[in-house]
Amino acid sequence: MQRTIKVGLALAGWLACTLASADMLADGYRLSAEPGETLDMAPPALPDLSGYTAAAVEAKIQRPPAGRVVVKDMLHEDALDEFIGGDERLKEWVVRQKRMPQAIFIENGYLNTAELARQLPDNLFAETEPGVYLARLPIIVRPGATLHIDRATRELRLSQEAGAFLVNDGRMFITGTRVTAWREKEGTPAFWRDGKEFRPYFLAWGGTETYVVDSVIQSFGYDASKAYGFSISQYSPSMAPKMRRARPTGWLLNSRFIDMWYGFYCYEADDVVIRGNTYEHNIVYGIDPHDRSRRLIIAENEAFGTRKKHGIIISREVNDSWIINNRSHHNQLSGIVLDRSSVNNVVAFNETYKNLSDGITLYESPHNLLWQNRSTNNERHGIRVRNSLDVSLYGNLLAANKLTGIYGHIKDLRGTHRDLEEDPFDPRVSLRIVGDQLVGNGSSPISVHSPTRLELYRLNILAPQKSSGISFSGLLGEHQGEIMDILLRQQRAVLIEPAGSLASKE
Protein backbone atom coordinates (compact mmCIF):
# COMPACT_ATOMS: atom_id res chain seq x y z
CA MET A 1 0.00 0.00 0.00
CA GLN A 2 1.47 3.34 -1.08
CA ARG A 3 1.96 5.95 1.62
CA THR A 4 1.30 9.57 0.74
CA ILE A 5 3.42 12.52 1.69
CA LYS A 6 1.41 15.21 3.40
CA VAL A 7 2.86 18.62 2.73
CA GLY A 8 2.11 22.18 3.78
CA LEU A 9 0.61 24.84 1.53
CA ALA A 10 4.11 26.02 0.74
CA LEU A 11 4.51 22.99 -1.53
CA ALA A 12 1.25 23.36 -3.41
CA GLY A 13 2.76 25.48 -6.15
CA TRP A 14 5.43 22.86 -6.85
CA LEU A 15 3.12 20.00 -7.60
CA ALA A 16 2.18 21.32 -11.05
CA CYS A 17 5.70 20.82 -12.34
CA THR A 18 6.60 17.60 -14.14
CA LEU A 19 10.01 16.08 -14.61
CA ALA A 20 11.55 14.21 -17.49
CA SER A 21 13.09 10.78 -16.84
CA ALA A 22 16.42 12.42 -15.99
CA ASP A 23 17.32 16.08 -15.51
CA MET A 24 20.79 17.54 -15.27
CA LEU A 25 21.08 19.72 -12.18
CA ALA A 26 23.21 22.81 -12.03
CA ASP A 27 25.45 21.40 -9.30
CA GLY A 28 26.71 18.49 -11.38
CA TYR A 29 24.12 15.93 -10.26
CA ARG A 30 21.43 14.23 -12.24
CA LEU A 31 18.04 13.50 -10.78
CA SER A 32 15.74 10.88 -12.23
CA ALA A 33 12.45 9.15 -11.55
CA GLU A 34 12.82 5.38 -11.26
CA PRO A 35 10.43 2.46 -10.65
CA GLY A 36 10.07 2.27 -6.88
CA GLU A 37 9.19 -1.40 -6.74
CA THR A 38 12.79 -2.34 -7.42
CA LEU A 39 13.70 -0.88 -4.01
CA ASP A 40 11.26 -2.99 -2.02
CA MET A 41 12.86 -5.78 -0.01
CA ALA A 42 11.74 -8.60 2.26
CA PRO A 43 12.29 -8.22 6.01
CA PRO A 44 15.80 -9.25 7.08
CA ALA A 45 16.35 -12.71 8.50
CA LEU A 46 16.85 -12.42 12.25
CA PRO A 47 18.41 -14.98 14.61
CA ASP A 48 16.20 -17.29 16.64
CA LEU A 49 16.57 -16.20 20.27
CA SER A 50 14.52 -18.97 21.84
CA GLY A 51 17.54 -21.12 22.75
CA TYR A 52 19.33 -18.48 24.82
CA THR A 53 17.82 -19.17 28.24
CA ALA A 54 18.79 -19.88 31.83
CA ALA A 55 17.90 -23.54 31.31
CA ALA A 56 20.21 -23.75 28.31
CA VAL A 57 23.05 -22.28 30.36
CA GLU A 58 22.41 -24.71 33.23
CA ALA A 59 22.65 -27.59 30.77
CA LYS A 60 26.17 -26.46 29.82
CA ILE A 61 27.56 -26.79 33.36
CA GLN A 62 29.71 -29.89 33.90
CA ARG A 63 30.14 -30.42 37.63
CA PRO A 64 32.32 -33.53 37.88
CA PRO A 65 35.18 -33.71 38.48
CA ALA A 66 35.73 -31.38 41.40
CA GLY A 67 38.42 -28.75 40.93
CA ARG A 68 41.13 -27.71 43.33
CA VAL A 69 42.53 -24.39 44.48
CA VAL A 70 46.13 -23.24 44.71
CA VAL A 71 47.55 -19.88 45.79
CA LYS A 72 50.75 -18.87 44.05
CA ASP A 73 52.68 -15.93 42.65
CA MET A 74 51.17 -13.97 39.78
CA LEU A 75 54.52 -13.68 37.97
CA HIS A 76 55.20 -15.81 34.87
CA GLU A 77 51.50 -16.58 34.36
CA ASP A 78 50.30 -16.17 30.78
CA ALA A 79 46.76 -15.26 31.85
CA LEU A 80 48.13 -12.39 33.95
CA ASP A 81 50.88 -11.11 31.69
CA GLU A 82 48.69 -8.19 30.54
CA PHE A 83 48.35 -6.95 34.12
CA ILE A 84 51.84 -7.46 35.54
CA GLY A 85 53.98 -7.27 32.38
CA GLY A 86 54.97 -3.66 33.03
CA ASP A 87 56.54 -2.11 36.09
CA GLU A 88 53.62 0.23 36.76
CA ARG A 89 50.93 -2.45 36.69
CA LEU A 90 53.04 -4.87 38.72
CA LYS A 91 53.55 -2.11 41.26
CA GLU A 92 49.76 -1.79 41.62
CA TRP A 93 49.51 -5.27 43.16
CA VAL A 94 52.75 -5.08 45.11
CA VAL A 95 51.43 -1.97 46.87
CA ARG A 96 48.00 -3.48 47.51
CA GLN A 97 49.23 -6.88 48.72
CA LYS A 98 52.41 -5.53 50.38
CA ARG A 99 54.44 -8.40 48.93
CA MET A 100 55.18 -9.99 45.57
CA PRO A 101 51.62 -10.41 44.32
CA GLN A 102 49.75 -13.69 44.57
CA ALA A 103 46.51 -14.97 43.07
CA ILE A 104 44.01 -17.78 43.61
CA PHE A 105 44.09 -20.35 40.79
CA ILE A 106 41.25 -22.82 40.11
CA GLU A 107 42.47 -25.97 38.38
CA ASN A 108 41.26 -29.24 36.90
CA GLY A 109 37.49 -29.23 37.35
CA TYR A 110 34.42 -27.52 38.81
CA LEU A 111 34.17 -25.32 41.90
CA ASN A 112 31.38 -23.15 43.20
CA THR A 113 31.79 -20.22 45.58
CA ALA A 114 31.12 -22.17 48.77
CA GLU A 115 33.71 -24.81 47.90
CA LEU A 116 36.19 -22.10 47.03
CA ALA A 117 35.71 -20.64 50.51
CA ARG A 118 36.21 -24.05 52.14
CA GLN A 119 39.59 -24.48 50.46
CA LEU A 120 40.96 -21.03 51.30
CA PRO A 121 41.89 -19.21 54.52
CA ASP A 122 39.57 -16.44 55.65
CA ASN A 123 42.14 -13.70 55.15
CA LEU A 124 42.10 -14.47 51.39
CA PHE A 125 38.50 -15.52 50.76
CA ALA A 126 35.92 -15.27 53.53
CA GLU A 127 32.20 -15.78 54.03
CA THR A 128 31.51 -12.53 55.88
CA GLU A 129 27.79 -13.26 56.38
CA PRO A 130 25.58 -16.10 55.17
CA GLY A 131 25.99 -16.36 51.41
CA VAL A 132 28.18 -13.24 51.14
CA TYR A 133 31.85 -13.78 50.24
CA LEU A 134 34.78 -11.36 50.09
CA ALA A 135 37.81 -12.06 47.86
CA ARG A 136 41.08 -10.34 48.72
CA LEU A 137 43.16 -11.83 45.89
CA PRO A 138 42.69 -12.05 42.12
CA ILE A 139 40.92 -15.27 41.06
CA ILE A 140 42.06 -17.04 37.87
CA VAL A 141 40.18 -19.95 36.28
CA ARG A 142 42.71 -22.08 34.40
CA PRO A 143 42.02 -23.97 31.15
CA GLY A 144 40.06 -27.11 31.94
CA ALA A 145 38.55 -25.59 35.09
CA THR A 146 35.13 -24.07 35.83
CA LEU A 147 34.13 -21.49 38.41
CA HIS A 148 30.41 -21.24 39.18
CA ILE A 149 29.22 -18.24 41.17
CA ASP A 150 25.81 -19.77 41.80
CA ARG A 151 22.42 -18.95 43.28
CA ALA A 152 23.51 -20.06 46.73
CA THR A 153 25.85 -17.07 46.66
CA ARG A 154 23.98 -13.93 47.68
CA GLU A 155 26.95 -11.80 46.69
CA LEU A 156 30.62 -12.15 45.78
CA ARG A 157 32.56 -9.02 46.69
CA LEU A 158 35.95 -8.25 45.15
CA SER A 159 38.07 -6.06 47.40
CA GLN A 160 39.22 -2.85 45.77
CA GLU A 161 41.80 -2.19 48.49
CA ALA A 162 43.36 -5.65 48.10
CA GLY A 163 43.39 -5.53 44.27
CA ALA A 164 41.03 -8.44 43.59
CA PHE A 165 39.72 -9.21 40.09
CA LEU A 166 38.42 -12.18 38.05
CA VAL A 167 40.14 -13.76 35.03
CA ASN A 168 38.51 -16.59 33.12
CA ASP A 169 40.97 -18.74 31.20
CA GLY A 170 38.58 -21.71 31.20
CA ARG A 171 34.79 -21.62 31.85
CA MET A 172 32.86 -19.19 34.04
CA PHE A 173 29.20 -19.30 35.10
CA ILE A 174 27.53 -16.51 37.05
CA THR A 175 23.91 -17.47 37.70
CA GLY A 176 21.25 -15.87 39.88
CA THR A 177 23.64 -13.86 42.03
CA ARG A 178 25.44 -10.55 42.49
CA VAL A 179 29.15 -9.78 41.92
CA THR A 180 30.36 -6.42 43.17
CA ALA A 181 33.59 -4.48 43.19
CA TRP A 182 33.74 -3.68 46.91
CA ARG A 183 35.24 -0.79 48.86
CA GLU A 184 35.99 -2.39 52.21
CA LYS A 185 36.73 0.81 54.12
CA GLU A 186 33.35 2.29 53.29
CA GLY A 187 31.36 -0.94 53.18
CA THR A 188 29.90 0.00 49.77
CA PRO A 189 30.34 -0.85 46.11
CA ALA A 190 33.44 0.77 44.62
CA PHE A 191 31.43 3.52 42.96
CA TRP A 192 33.27 5.34 40.17
CA ARG A 193 35.26 8.38 41.24
CA ASP A 194 38.07 8.69 38.68
CA GLY A 195 39.01 6.77 35.55
CA LYS A 196 42.57 6.13 36.74
CA GLU A 197 41.57 4.67 40.10
CA PHE A 198 41.87 0.89 40.21
CA ARG A 199 38.58 -0.99 40.48
CA PRO A 200 38.12 -4.78 40.27
CA TYR A 201 37.12 -6.13 36.88
CA PHE A 202 36.33 -9.30 34.91
CA LEU A 203 38.21 -10.55 31.84
CA ALA A 204 37.72 -13.75 29.82
CA TRP A 205 40.63 -14.68 27.52
CA GLY A 206 40.83 -16.52 24.18
CA GLY A 207 39.44 -20.04 24.09
CA THR A 208 37.03 -19.42 26.96
CA GLU A 209 33.29 -19.59 27.55
CA THR A 210 31.52 -17.14 29.86
CA TYR A 211 27.87 -17.27 30.90
CA VAL A 212 26.02 -14.70 33.02
CA VAL A 213 22.32 -15.19 33.78
CA ASP A 214 19.86 -13.41 36.09
CA SER A 215 22.67 -11.61 37.93
CA VAL A 216 23.87 -8.15 38.90
CA ILE A 217 27.41 -6.98 38.13
CA GLN A 218 28.33 -3.65 39.70
CA SER A 219 31.10 -1.04 39.78
CA PHE A 220 33.72 -2.89 37.69
CA GLY A 221 36.56 -1.44 35.70
CA TYR A 222 38.81 1.55 35.15
CA ASP A 223 40.92 3.12 32.42
CA ALA A 224 43.57 0.43 31.91
CA SER A 225 44.01 -2.12 29.12
CA LYS A 226 41.78 -5.20 29.49
CA ALA A 227 40.50 -3.88 32.83
CA TYR A 228 37.56 -1.98 31.38
CA GLY A 229 34.78 -3.68 33.31
CA PHE A 230 33.24 -6.87 31.96
CA SER A 231 35.38 -7.98 29.01
CA ILE A 232 35.70 -10.97 26.67
CA SER A 233 38.93 -10.75 24.69
CA GLN A 234 41.25 -12.76 22.55
CA TYR A 235 44.82 -12.63 23.75
CA SER A 236 46.72 -9.53 22.67
CA PRO A 237 48.63 -9.64 19.36
CA SER A 238 51.93 -10.27 21.16
CA MET A 239 50.50 -13.24 23.09
CA ALA A 240 48.02 -14.75 20.62
CA PRO A 241 50.61 -16.61 18.48
CA LYS A 242 52.05 -18.19 21.61
CA MET A 243 48.69 -19.16 23.12
CA ARG A 244 47.00 -20.35 19.89
CA ARG A 245 43.53 -20.15 21.38
CA ALA A 246 40.21 -20.10 19.59
CA ARG A 247 38.22 -16.91 19.80
CA PRO A 248 36.33 -16.50 23.08
CA THR A 249 32.55 -16.56 23.32
CA GLY A 250 29.77 -16.28 25.87
CA TRP A 251 26.16 -15.46 26.70
CA LEU A 252 25.02 -12.59 28.92
CA LEU A 253 21.31 -12.95 29.66
CA ASN A 254 18.74 -11.06 31.74
CA SER A 255 21.30 -9.36 33.96
CA ARG A 256 22.09 -5.85 35.18
CA PHE A 257 25.42 -4.07 34.69
CA ILE A 258 25.66 -0.96 36.84
CA ASP A 259 28.32 1.75 37.27
CA MET A 260 30.85 -0.04 35.04
CA TRP A 261 33.71 1.74 33.23
CA TYR A 262 32.48 -0.23 30.20
CA GLY A 263 29.32 -2.26 30.76
CA PHE A 264 30.55 -4.77 28.18
CA TYR A 265 33.65 -4.92 26.00
CA CYS A 266 34.92 -7.58 23.63
CA TYR A 267 37.88 -7.96 21.28
CA GLU A 268 38.09 -10.59 18.50
CA ALA A 269 35.20 -12.53 20.03
CA ASP A 270 32.72 -14.68 18.12
CA ASP A 271 29.05 -15.52 18.57
CA VAL A 272 28.61 -13.61 21.82
CA VAL A 273 24.95 -13.22 22.82
CA ILE A 274 23.96 -10.15 24.84
CA ARG A 275 20.24 -10.55 25.47
CA GLY A 276 17.74 -9.00 27.84
CA ASN A 277 20.21 -7.09 30.02
CA THR A 278 20.11 -3.56 31.40
CA TYR A 279 23.17 -1.33 31.28
CA GLU A 280 22.60 1.36 33.89
CA HIS A 281 24.60 4.53 34.48
CA ASN A 282 27.85 3.13 33.17
CA ILE A 283 30.74 5.51 32.65
CA VAL A 284 32.13 5.42 29.08
CA TYR A 285 29.92 2.93 27.21
CA GLY A 286 27.06 0.62 27.97
CA ILE A 287 27.78 -2.10 25.36
CA ASP A 288 31.03 -1.86 23.33
CA PRO A 289 32.00 -4.82 21.13
CA HIS A 290 35.29 -4.03 19.45
CA ASP A 291 37.98 -5.11 16.99
CA ARG A 292 37.08 -7.88 14.55
CA SER A 293 34.35 -9.47 16.63
CA ARG A 294 31.82 -11.40 14.54
CA ARG A 295 28.28 -12.75 14.52
CA LEU A 296 27.23 -11.03 17.70
CA ILE A 297 23.62 -10.89 18.87
CA ILE A 298 22.77 -7.74 20.83
CA ALA A 299 19.05 -8.08 21.50
CA GLU A 300 16.36 -6.90 23.90
CA ASN A 301 18.73 -4.87 26.08
CA GLU A 302 18.21 -1.47 27.66
CA ALA A 303 21.14 0.95 27.89
CA PHE A 304 20.63 4.26 29.62
CA GLY A 305 22.39 6.97 31.58
CA THR A 306 25.87 6.40 30.09
CA ARG A 307 27.86 9.31 31.48
CA LYS A 308 30.56 9.97 28.86
CA LYS A 309 29.65 8.46 25.50
CA HIS A 310 27.21 6.04 23.86
CA GLY A 311 24.67 3.52 25.06
CA ILE A 312 25.55 0.83 22.45
CA ILE A 313 28.50 0.98 20.04
CA ILE A 314 30.25 -1.53 17.79
CA SER A 315 33.62 -0.38 16.52
CA ARG A 316 36.43 -1.46 14.21
CA GLU A 317 35.35 -4.32 11.94
CA VAL A 318 32.59 -5.72 14.09
CA ASN A 319 30.78 -7.50 11.28
CA ASP A 320 27.88 -9.81 10.42
CA SER A 321 26.02 -9.01 13.63
CA TRP A 322 22.51 -8.14 14.78
CA ILE A 323 21.47 -5.21 16.97
CA ILE A 324 17.74 -5.80 17.45
CA ASN A 325 14.90 -4.81 19.78
CA ASN A 326 17.06 -2.74 22.12
CA ARG A 327 16.22 0.49 23.92
CA SER A 328 19.00 3.06 24.30
CA HIS A 329 18.12 6.38 25.87
CA HIS A 330 19.28 9.29 28.03
CA ASN A 331 22.94 8.67 27.13
CA GLN A 332 25.56 11.42 26.99
CA LEU A 333 26.13 10.96 23.24
CA SER A 334 24.35 8.60 20.83
CA GLY A 335 21.97 5.74 21.47
CA ILE A 336 23.48 3.27 18.95
CA VAL A 337 26.71 3.70 16.96
CA LEU A 338 28.33 1.66 14.16
CA ASP A 339 31.92 2.80 13.84
CA ARG A 340 35.17 2.23 11.92
CA SER A 341 34.50 -0.26 9.14
CA SER A 342 31.79 -2.31 10.87
CA VAL A 343 29.90 -3.89 7.94
CA ASN A 344 27.09 -6.30 7.07
CA ASN A 345 25.15 -5.63 10.24
CA VAL A 346 21.39 -5.48 10.78
CA VAL A 347 20.08 -2.78 13.12
CA ALA A 348 16.36 -3.45 13.51
CA PHE A 349 13.38 -2.66 15.75
CA ASN A 350 15.42 -0.58 18.21
CA GLU A 351 14.21 2.47 20.13
CA THR A 352 16.66 5.34 20.66
CA TYR A 353 15.35 8.41 22.39
CA LYS A 354 16.36 11.41 24.49
CA ASN A 355 20.06 10.92 23.83
CA LEU A 356 22.23 14.03 23.92
CA SER A 357 23.57 13.41 20.40
CA ASP A 358 22.04 11.22 17.67
CA GLY A 359 19.62 8.36 17.96
CA ILE A 360 21.64 6.14 15.59
CA THR A 361 25.07 7.10 14.21
CA LEU A 362 27.13 5.42 11.47
CA TYR A 363 30.76 6.48 11.10
CA GLU A 364 32.82 5.01 8.25
CA SER A 365 30.71 1.81 8.24
CA PRO A 366 29.34 0.81 4.83
CA HIS A 367 26.95 -1.98 3.79
CA ASN A 368 24.58 -1.90 6.76
CA LEU A 369 20.80 -2.16 7.05
CA LEU A 370 18.69 -0.07 9.43
CA TRP A 371 15.21 -1.59 9.56
CA GLN A 372 12.14 -0.21 11.35
CA ASN A 373 13.90 1.57 14.17
CA ARG A 374 12.29 4.38 16.18
CA SER A 375 14.56 7.34 16.84
CA THR A 376 12.81 10.17 18.66
CA ASN A 377 13.46 13.26 20.76
CA ASN A 378 17.24 13.13 20.41
CA GLU A 379 19.25 16.32 20.79
CA ARG A 380 20.82 16.08 17.33
CA HIS A 381 19.84 13.83 14.42
CA GLY A 382 17.54 10.84 14.31
CA ILE A 383 19.96 8.91 12.07
CA ARG A 384 23.37 10.25 11.06
CA VAL A 385 25.53 8.60 8.37
CA ARG A 386 29.11 9.76 7.69
CA ASN A 387 31.58 8.46 5.10
CA SER A 388 29.59 5.24 4.55
CA LEU A 389 28.47 3.66 1.27
CA ASP A 390 25.49 1.40 0.65
CA VAL A 391 23.56 2.15 3.81
CA SER A 392 19.89 1.16 3.59
CA LEU A 393 17.18 2.73 5.76
CA TYR A 394 13.82 0.97 5.59
CA GLY A 395 10.68 1.85 7.52
CA ASN A 396 12.34 3.82 10.29
CA LEU A 397 10.45 6.39 12.36
CA LEU A 398 12.41 9.61 12.94
CA ALA A 399 10.38 12.02 15.04
CA ALA A 400 10.90 15.19 17.07
CA ASN A 401 14.69 15.14 16.85
CA LYS A 402 16.20 18.57 17.46
CA LEU A 403 18.07 18.76 14.15
CA THR A 404 17.54 16.48 11.14
CA GLY A 405 15.55 13.29 10.83
CA ILE A 406 18.19 11.72 8.53
CA TYR A 407 21.56 13.41 8.02
CA GLY A 408 24.14 12.11 5.54
CA HIS A 409 27.50 13.74 4.96
CA ILE A 410 31.19 13.28 4.24
CA LYS A 411 34.13 14.45 6.32
CA ASP A 412 37.87 14.59 5.66
CA LEU A 413 39.48 12.93 8.68
CA ARG A 414 43.07 13.71 7.71
CA GLY A 415 44.81 15.86 10.26
CA THR A 416 42.78 14.46 13.16
CA HIS A 417 44.01 12.16 15.94
CA ARG A 418 42.81 9.18 13.85
CA ASP A 419 45.36 6.51 12.85
CA LEU A 420 44.55 6.29 9.15
CA GLU A 421 46.47 3.05 8.65
CA GLU A 422 44.49 1.27 11.33
CA ASP A 423 41.24 3.10 10.66
CA PRO A 424 41.06 4.24 7.02
CA PHE A 425 38.12 6.21 5.69
CA ASP A 426 36.45 6.70 2.32
CA PRO A 427 34.90 10.18 2.05
CA ARG A 428 31.77 9.06 0.24
CA VAL A 429 28.20 8.49 1.35
CA SER A 430 25.34 6.67 -0.37
CA LEU A 431 21.90 6.05 1.07
CA ARG A 432 18.76 4.17 0.16
CA ILE A 433 15.80 5.55 2.14
CA VAL A 434 12.54 3.65 1.69
CA GLY A 435 9.31 3.90 3.66
CA ASP A 436 10.72 6.03 6.45
CA GLN A 437 8.44 8.30 8.48
CA LEU A 438 9.85 11.74 9.26
CA VAL A 439 7.73 13.62 11.76
CA GLY A 440 8.36 17.02 13.29
CA ASN A 441 12.16 17.08 13.17
CA GLY A 442 13.63 20.45 14.01
CA SER A 443 15.70 21.70 11.07
CA SER A 444 14.82 19.31 8.23
CA PRO A 445 13.33 15.90 7.49
CA ILE A 446 16.38 14.86 5.43
CA SER A 447 19.70 16.52 4.72
CA VAL A 448 22.31 14.83 2.54
CA HIS A 449 25.52 16.49 1.37
CA SER A 450 27.61 15.35 -1.62
CA PRO A 451 26.16 11.82 -1.99
CA THR A 452 27.67 9.28 -4.32
CA ARG A 453 24.17 7.86 -4.71
CA LEU A 454 20.88 8.71 -3.06
CA GLU A 455 17.59 6.83 -3.51
CA LEU A 456 14.30 7.94 -1.96
CA TYR A 457 10.96 6.17 -2.13
CA ARG A 458 7.62 6.02 -0.33
CA LEU A 459 8.46 8.56 2.36
CA ASN A 460 5.94 9.89 4.86
CA ILE A 461 6.75 13.43 6.01
CA LEU A 462 4.48 15.06 8.57
CA ALA A 463 4.17 17.91 11.05
CA PRO A 464 6.94 20.32 10.07
CA GLN A 465 8.23 22.44 12.93
CA LYS A 466 8.96 25.36 10.62
CA SER A 467 6.08 27.76 10.00
CA SER A 468 6.92 27.80 6.29
CA GLY A 469 6.15 24.12 5.96
CA ILE A 470 8.34 21.16 5.07
CA SER A 471 11.82 22.09 3.96
CA PHE A 472 14.66 19.77 2.99
CA SER A 473 18.26 20.91 3.36
CA GLY A 474 21.52 20.08 1.71
CA LEU A 475 21.33 18.81 -1.85
CA LEU A 476 17.67 17.88 -1.40
CA GLY A 477 16.74 21.40 -0.39
CA GLU A 478 18.11 22.79 -3.63
CA HIS A 479 15.80 20.52 -5.66
CA GLN A 480 12.86 20.10 -3.36
CA GLY A 481 10.22 20.85 -5.98
CA GLU A 482 11.45 18.19 -8.38
CA ILE A 483 11.85 15.62 -5.61
CA MET A 484 8.35 16.17 -4.26
CA ASP A 485 6.87 15.88 -7.72
CA ILE A 486 8.44 12.46 -8.24
CA LEU A 487 7.60 11.13 -4.81
CA LEU A 488 4.06 12.51 -4.52
CA ARG A 489 2.54 13.07 -7.94
CA GLN A 490 4.39 10.38 -9.87
CA GLN A 491 4.68 8.04 -6.88
CA ARG A 492 8.02 6.85 -8.14
CA ALA A 493 11.49 6.64 -6.61
CA VAL A 494 14.00 9.47 -6.73
CA LEU A 495 17.55 8.66 -7.80
CA ILE A 496 20.26 11.30 -7.42
CA GLU A 497 23.82 10.65 -8.60
CA PRO A 498 26.77 12.71 -9.80
CA ALA A 499 26.37 13.25 -13.52
CA GLY A 500 29.61 11.46 -14.33
CA SER A 501 28.51 8.25 -12.66
CA LEU A 502 25.33 8.13 -14.71
CA ALA A 503 27.09 9.03 -17.90
CA SER A 504 29.55 6.18 -17.43
CA LYS A 505 26.66 3.70 -17.40
CA GLU A 506 25.09 4.95 -20.62
77-86 mean pLDDT: 82
Please give the single-letter amino acid code of residue 173.
F
| Nearest one of 251, 318, 271 to 290, comparing CA atoms | 318
Q: Is 279 inside a domain boundary?
A: yes
Given pLDDT bands bounded at 50, 70 and 90, which one contains residue 500? confident
State the CB neighbour count (10 A cutoff) for residue 289.
27
Given pLDDT bands bounded at 50, 70 and 90, which one contains residue 355? very high
Q: Is 85 inside a domain boundary?
A: yes
Q: Is 101 inside a domain boundary?
A: yes
For 163, the domain range is 67-283
pLDDT, one tens digit per residue, over 410-435 is 999 998 989 999 999 999 999 999 99
CA 282 to CA 218: how far, in whole Å?
A: 9
Q: Is 214 inside a domain boundary?
A: yes
pLDDT at 83 over 90: no
Total number of domains constituting the chain: 1
Exposed, middle or buried by CB within 10 Å (0-12, 13-18, 19+), for 215?
buried
Per-residue confidence (pLDDT) for residue 18, from 0 to 100: 34
Q: Which of 148, 290, 310, 329 is catalytic?
A: 290
CA atoms within 13 A on the CB side of 265: 27
Per-residue confidence (pLDDT) for residue 23, from 0 to 100: 67
pLDDT at 16 over 60: no
Per-residue confidence (pLDDT) for residue 472, from 0 to 100: 82
290 is annotated as an active-site residue? yes
Per-residue confidence (pLDDT) for residue 86, from 0 to 100: 65
| Phi, psi for 329 (deg, rounded to 5) | -150, 160
Pure H helices in 211-337: 240-243
CA 84 to CA 5: how far, in whole Å?
A: 62
CA 476 to CA 483: how far, in whole Å?
A: 8
DSSP state of 140: E
Q: Is 162 inside a domain boundary?
A: yes
pLDDT at 6 over 80: no
CA 231 to CA 130: how far, in whole Å?
A: 29
CA 254 to CA 278: how far, in whole Å?
A: 8
Q: Is 225 inside a domain boundary?
A: yes
Q: What is the CATH number of the domain that holds 94?
A: 2.160.20.10
| Nearest one of 216, 217, 215 to 57, comparing CA atoms | 215
DSSP state of 36: G
Q: Identify the bridge partners of residue 362 per DSSP, sorted by sequence position.
A: 338, 385
pLDDT at 22 over 80: no
Per-residue confidence (pLDDT) for residue 387, from 0 to 100: 98
User: ω before 65 within 30° of 0 (cis)?
Assistant: yes
Q: Is 134 inside a domain boundary?
A: yes
Q: Is 213 inside a domain boundary?
A: yes
Exposed, middle or buried by CB within 10 Å (0-12, 13-18, 19+), for 465?
middle
pLDDT, one tens digit per residue, over 127-137 is 999 999 999 99
CA atoms within 13 A on the CB side of 46: 20
Given pLDDT bands bounded at 50, 70 and 90, which one contains residue 469? low
